[in-house]
């Protein structure tokens, strides 16, 4: 290769790099979020702590927390001293006139009840994923939100992270051609304990709502809704699902498939690969958190994308998640008078719940008091 050819190749690589790094997706990617709304945290468990850690460190305002026990709310406040108000019941938090938006962080089985009560008291809400136990519950929440013209969003925070946004942009503009296959997994080892939330049927436990929602919502975000689902899985002694797999088929004329695996009996690589006719995108462990990815082209060239906003909070949980991005989206939508986010729209939440209902129907897994 001549020096001229090398120079041209280098120039084209730089052009491609600038093209790849360009951004047009409607999401705020600032490491800091504006202090425009007063958040109430409904629930005082682990995920509520993760959310509060990142929102506070990003500059947001967690104004109050409500728990079923005042003691637990006070313990939460000790972890986050900037929180001014604590409540020993969820009802008190919901009725606080100084709270602008509520993050519902209870176990899955309680999402529907408390989301409905928040809306009945005219509170916009961000509801932790999985949104509800099933499609029926999700539809009831969103129907009430539509009736009352109130904002609701599922807290699938992965959709708002820098590298996932970039992956979506690259796929949408055909960077790796037509998508032929997506492979994603999410296996996390949890020793079996019938008292643990993950294995408790009365709390809608199981791998699907806790772990499966990540690859399922990820694939739905990239490909839309499958036309056919094939599922397999096994149950724990308590009757909840523990080791599942699903194949999604898309009737798009391209033979596109998504192959997903998730479970609580063993840890897995937790990676994702999006394979197209011009190349593939590989997202390293863990695919759903702020990370990097590499584009492999069929001609042998590669491009590595490194997130510019890779968290490194003092609290280790901040490096695992990036929840302030979704909180910023909620605030942006509220300021603009929207009732739903274009990145996590109601239609997608309903679609994901319908997919998970179908997987459970095939596996014959039902939650307490439920029919599918």
Measured CA to CA, the distance from residue 65 to residue 89 in angstroms comes to 9
Domain span at residue 148 reads 38-158
Q: What is the mean pLDDT of residues 120-132?
A: 98
Q: Domain containing 56 — which CATH number?
A: 3.40.50.720
Question: Is position 133 within any domain?
Answer: yes
Measured CA to CA, the distance from residue 108 to residue 128 in angstroms comes to 8
Q: Is 108 helix (H, G, I), strand (E, B) or coil?
A: helix
pLDDT at 4 over 80: no
**DSSP letter assigned to residue 284:** P
Please tell me the predicted confidence (pLDDT) of residue 27: 55
Sequence-separated (6 or more) residues with CB below 8 Å from residue 234: 241, 242, 243, 244
**Number of domains the chain is built from:** 2
Task: Please tell me whether residues 151 and 227 are part of one structural domain.
Answer: no
Q: What is the pLDDT of residues 217-262, one digit of tens each?
A: 999 999 999 999 999 999 999 999 999 999 999 988 788 999 999 9
Question: Is position 130 within any domain?
Answer: yes
Measured CA to CA, the distance from residue 58 to residue 40 in angstroms comes to 16
Task: Please tell me whether residues 215 and 260 are part of one structural domain.
Answer: yes
Torsion angle (degrees, nearest 10) of CA 329, 67, 38, 312: -50
Residue with the larger pLDDT of the pair 194 and 309 = 194
pLDDT at 54 over 80: yes
Cis peptide before 82 (omega within 30 of 0): no
Q: Domain containing 279 — which CATH number?
A: 3.30.360.10
Q: What is the pLDDT of residues 60-97, one digit of tens each?
A: 999 999 999 999 999 999 999 999 999 999 999 999 99
CA angle 230, 202, 138 (to 5 degrees): 60
């Amino acid at each position: 290769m001549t020096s001229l050819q090398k120079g041209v190749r280098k120039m084209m690589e730089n052009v491609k790099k600038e093209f790849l790094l360009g951004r047009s997706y409607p999401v705020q990617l600032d490491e800091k979020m504006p202090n425009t709304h007063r958040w109430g945290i409904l629930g005082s468990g682990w995920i509520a702590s993760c959310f509060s850690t990142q929102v506070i460190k990003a500059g947001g305002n967690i104004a109050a927390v409500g728990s079923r026990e005042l003691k637990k709310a006070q313990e939460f406040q000790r972890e986050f001293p900037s929180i001014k108000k604590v409540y020993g019941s969820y009802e008190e938090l919901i009725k606080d006139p100084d709270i602008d938006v509520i993050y519902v962080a209870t176990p899955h089985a309680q999402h529907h009840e408390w989301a409905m009560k928040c809306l009945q008291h005219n509170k916009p809400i961000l509801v932790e994923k999985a949104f509800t136990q099933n499609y029926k519950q999700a539809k009831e929440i969103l129907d009430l939100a539509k009736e009352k013209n109130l904002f609701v969003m599922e807290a699938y925070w992965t959709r708002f992270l820098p590298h996932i946004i970039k992956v979506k942009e690259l796929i949408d503009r055909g960077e790796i051609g037509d998508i032929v296959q997506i492979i994603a997994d999410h296996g996390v080892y949890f020793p079996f304990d019938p008292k643990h939330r993950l294995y408790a049927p009365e709390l809608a436990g199981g791998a699907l709502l806790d772990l499966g929602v990540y690859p399922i919502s990820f694939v739905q975000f990239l490909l839309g809704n499958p036309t056919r689902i094939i599922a397999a899985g096994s149950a724990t002694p308590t009757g909840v699902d523990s080791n599942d797999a699903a194949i999604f088929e898309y009737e798009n004329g391209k033979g596109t498939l998504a192959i997903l695996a998730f479970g609580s009996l063993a840890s897995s690589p937790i990676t994702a690969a999006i394979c197209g006719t011009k190349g593939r995108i590989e997202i390293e462990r863990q695919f759903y958190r702020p990370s990097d990815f590499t584009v492999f082209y069929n001609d042998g060239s590669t491009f590595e994308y490194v997130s510019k906003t890779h968290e490194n909070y003092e609290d280790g949980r901040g490096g695992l998640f990036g929840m302030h991005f979704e909180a910023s989206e909620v605030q942006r939508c509220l300021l603009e008078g929207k009732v739903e986010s274009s990145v996590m729209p109601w239609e997608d939440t309903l679609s994901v719940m319908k997919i998970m209902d179908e997987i459970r129907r095939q596996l014959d897994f039902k939650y307490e008091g439920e029919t599918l």
